[in-house]
Structure 1
Amino acid sequence: MRVFLSHDRHPGGTNARPGSRATRSQRPDLAEHPENVFVLNSLHHRAFDANLFTVDSDYQIRASPSFDPGHPFLRQTIIERQGEQLSLPPDVRVRSTFLEELNAGLYWL
């Protein structure tokens, strides 16, 4: 599964399920699960991994209240689009249970 939040020539994958980034070697079945991956550019990848924004189970962009990006691209694509629903290709899906588990650990949701 591949989802792009923005345009970038060097996308990188990040996992939706909590802990899967840190435990890739312990749970490769989840780290590489096709319904547990967002493909993001490097700016969004770092912000996602730092829990500065997430995507909820309705595929809406949600940002931490403390997220005040200095980079205008992050402001335009996350802060100004907060609450917008991502449009996914028809054959693409991120498992909602992975997103719910990830977001359960975020104090700001």
Structure 2
Amino acid sequence: MSDWMPEPDTTPGAAPDTEAPEPVPAPEAEAPVPSHDPAPPAPLGVPRTPTGHPGVDARLERLADADHLPADGHTEVYEDVHRGLRDELTALDARPAPAPTPAHDIRS
């Protein structure tokens, strides 16, 4: 096989060859190989402001446990916190109302 290339047309009056050679595509970069090790869960950084009610505050602190779990483990924590907060509200409703203070007889 020969490397012979035909000469451009040099006939008088012929238009010069103005077509640019086709660009050679750059070699494609290799796609990164996905890691099979998932990144560890990152804390969400959601602040939890204390309410002043110890039972409620303890339930809200339980939410911090979700920060160290993968997303599929959050449901268990959220359900536990919801159950605990519901129990706290139920306990508030179940408390007896404070006894009225006896009225002092001002006639004496």
TM-score range for the pair, normalised by the shorter chain length: under 0.3
Structure that is richer in helix per residue: 2
The normalised TM-score by structure 1 is 0.17
The normalised TM-score by structure 2 is 0.18
Structure that is richer in strand per residue: 1
